[in-house]
Chains A and B, each alone.
Chain A
Amino acid sequence: MNAVELKDISKAFGGILANDGIDLTVKEGEIHCILGENGAGKTTLMKILFGLYSKDSGRILIKGQEVEIKEPRQAINLGIGMIHQHFMLVNRLTVAENIIAGDEPLKGIFIDQERANSEVEKLSQRYNLKVNPAARIENISVGEQQRVEILKALYRNAEILILDEPTAVLTPQETEELFQVMRKLKRNGKTIIFITHKLKETMTISDRVTILRDGRKVGTVTTSETSPEELARMMVGREVVLRVDKKARKLDRPIFEVRGLSLHNKKSNLYLKDISFTIEKGEILGVAGVEGNGQLELEEALTALRKIEQGQIILKGRDITGLRTRERRDFGLAHIPSDRLKRGLIEEFNLERNLILGSEWQEPFARRGFLVKRAIQAYAKRIIKEFDIRTSGSQAKAADLSGGNQQKVILGRELMRDPDLIIASQPTRGVDVGAIEYIHNLLLEMRDRGKGILLISAELDELRSLSDRIMVIYEGTIVAEGKTEDFTEEELGLLMAGQGLEGVG
């Protein structure tokens, strides 16, 4: 029997078709992957199924019955539960409160706190999802938060579970644990829809895969009868090289050095403790770690966007610790920020303006206090061509570009300044496979041209394929550093989770 059947679902946002006549059949008791790039329409489709978005047309059948789902309440009543990519959890409330809200056990007119805790406890044991019911969300780990999300759905007796990119925030070990939970849920007769853009995970966990591209369904295949290469081809629409070629490099002289950098972020209560490292000319140093372990603070400290308490930052032999952001940039530091929309671009500005940000007062872009339109336009056109930015022209707003092309705008702006050191933070986040390929090759090209690169990334595969050396950051401390080939993926995962190497069997 089919747990879910979606027929000819369409949904447009402001004239752009996010879902274009999508059919999907999910069998009862299977793990069904929805595979596609960012912007392929996966999440939109699932939000329609869960009642968060209204569909423009199409039909939904649950267990053979045609249904109308206009709001989450109806989806919940039909036995559908959704675990969102951005957790739907209230930081200030407890685990139990987050789970029971909307369906609270009562004692008179009051919430029965004891029964709430015991019911959460019971569910947690049954599915092996360890949580502490009394803990506040803001005090527990990301992995535990995800377990709370799953328990929320199970508490409402969900039979069909939708997991939206659940592994994006997890270490490899946590991912493996999640997969075990998913297998257990499957054995208990639950149907699981798993949204992802990762081929490896699709191959590992799913029974069948439906591939989406540009809002359309490309096809559904049985996992045991397909290969990562075939899936990649269906997902991107052309042959993709899944590997990058990295040339061997010789030792060179150091170009960037950080000594004993320490600071305290009061807002998140994170301490960066005594961070020291060196980057040579033509070397990529990768920073691995679970998000929120100090990567952002490090990025900000190096670009003078955050004050440091102790330490020295040395670029090309000169102490730049006392220099402000602009002075550091002028001295040869480039920055690909982790939050592209917050720090990388001004979405409402056109490309010309975005591309001269940070140089807008300099010749030839400005003369006697006025912008020189012709020079700016010529410069923008050159970058658009050189960096293969797909756009309607240099007057297009940054907001109208895809994630990958926005990222190319930033790369173009930063790299055209001919920097000596590039701080690239999450350079391929939210970027399609084609652009990832381009950005990776571009970073390697910069490396081969003798630039130093600090690559901060949450993607282990990216770090492992690009970096010459890797250091692992955990709770604001560098817990390990070495050549890339000295670490296995498992070791990195354990280090990222705060467990030392001695724990490896």
Chain B
Amino acid sequence: MNEILESIFSINTLAAAIRMVTPIALAAMGGAFSERSGIINIGLEGMILTGAFAGVLGSYYTASPWFGVLLALLAGGILGAIFALFTIKFKADHVVAGVGLNILALGATTWLMQVIWGSRGSSPNVNGLEEISIPILRDIPVIDKLLGTQSPLVYLMFILVISGWFLLFKTPLGLRIRMTGEHPEAADTLGINIKGVQYFSVILSGVLSGLGGAYLSLGHLNWFSMNMSAGRGYMALAANIFGQWNPLGGFAASFLFSYTDAVQMRLQGLNLNIANELIQMLPYLLTIIVLAGAVVRSRPPEALGKHYEPGGEG
């Protein structure tokens, strides 16, 4: 019993959670932007997966992991642009388009892996991002273990989540995004370019998810494997809702999930008399419980998932 408690409350578990939260929190923030502008984004999963693949691909050809990150951002952005095109211009149902995007991303990455590396399982090892060590954080006792030495993308995630909050709640663009997702017609009558706002938000969500993917394949590990995102996009979707469409809230919710994930992994190492498969279910179970319990209180943007056409023809 003590062992269990220890594994739940140890500093190492917490450190592992911080490592694992990065892709989920980034994608959750992407979800926040997309959905605040009115576009339901189920496609986060596919965007993460594509980002992870593009990251490894970039590093494989140039031997530079940073070039891989750049390619991941670009790939995420392109996927975001495709998704935006379907949902905004062609008015596809957001959920259907998102699911389609995920299937496309899984199929395309698996196929490309076969074509490029001749394997459907995983890519060869590539150069990953080196961990960096931050002088001041490194010198504080407990903080050192958590944040002293991490992948640069972990630090970048913290900076982005905080900037994302400022962007969404303190700048004109943020106000316009929120207005568009709540009441596009009102935004339209104020002369706000609602389509521009939506394209920006959805593409940004792709870029952020792509970055999350790059962390998976270049920060956390240094190779790509089939279906590497493993449901993190859906967790991010849940975290975004639980976090009330707010980057900071999304981070907190993502942390809850990744912490559970870290605990789950520690528990597996303890050789308890429970099937590992059951323990592995923990974070997913929590996702379901949180969503079922939280949905009652959460309040999505009012025009989420709806199509608005200026000019009165819609």
Residues of A within 8 A of B (CB): 13, 47, 50, 52-54, 71-73, 76-77, 82, 84, 88-93, 97-98, 100-104, 106, 109-111, 152, 156
Contact = CB atoms under 8 A, between A and B. Distances in A.
Contact of B171 (A89, A100, A110): A110
A72 B191 contact: yes
A169 B209 CA distance: 45
Interface residues of B, number: 24
Contacts of B166: 110
B109 to A, nearest CB: 37
B192 A101 contact: yes
Interface in B25-63: none
Interface of B: 166, 170-172, 175-176, 178-179, 182-183, 185-193, 299, 302, 310-312
A71 B188 CA distance: 8
A89 B191 contact: no
B182 A91 contact: yes
A76 B191 contact: yes
A72 B189 contact: yes
B interface SS class: helix
Given A52-B310, A52-B312, A71-B310, A111 B191 contact: no
B185 to A, nearest CB: 6
Contacts of A93: 175, 178-179, 182
Given A101-B175, A104-B172, 10 more contacts: A53-B311, A72-B189, A72-B190, A77-B191, A88-B183, A89-B186, A93-B175, A97-B175, A101-B176, A102-B192
Contacts of A106: 172
Q: Which of B170, B172, B187, B193 has the most CB of A within 10 A?
A: B172
22 contacts: A52-B188, A54-B311, A71-B188, A76-B190, A84-B189, A88-B190, A90-B178, A90-B182, A90-B183, A90-B302, A92-B302, A93-B178, A93-B182, A101-B175, A101-B179, A101-B190, A101-B192, A102-B176, A109-B171, A111-B170, A111-B172, A152-B190
A206 B3 CA distance: 82
A109 B173 CA distance: 10
A103 B299 CA distance: 27
A47 B178 CA distance: 24
A181 B65 CA distance: 65
Contacts of A97: 175, 179
Contacts of B171: 109-111
A50 B310 CA distance: 12
A92 B182 contact: yes
A50 B189 contact: yes
Contacts of B178: 90, 92-93
Nearest to A113: B170
A501 to B, nearest CB: 38
A110 B171 CA distance: 4
Nearest to B311: A54
Nearest to A53: B312
A30 to B, nearest CB: 24
Contact of A88 (B170, B186, B299): B186
A43 to B, nearest CB: 10
A488 to B, nearest CB: 38
B183 A72 contact: no
Contact of B189 (A52, A54, A103): A52
Q: Which 3 residue pairs spanning A and B have beta carbons closest together?
A: A73-B191, A88-B186, A102-B190
A93 to B, nearest CB: 7
Contacts of A91: 182-183, 302
A102 B187 contact: yes
B291 to A, nearest CB: 21
A473 to B, nearest CB: 27
A5 B190 CA distance: 23
Nearest to B181: A90
Contacts of B311: 52-54
Contacts of A84: 189
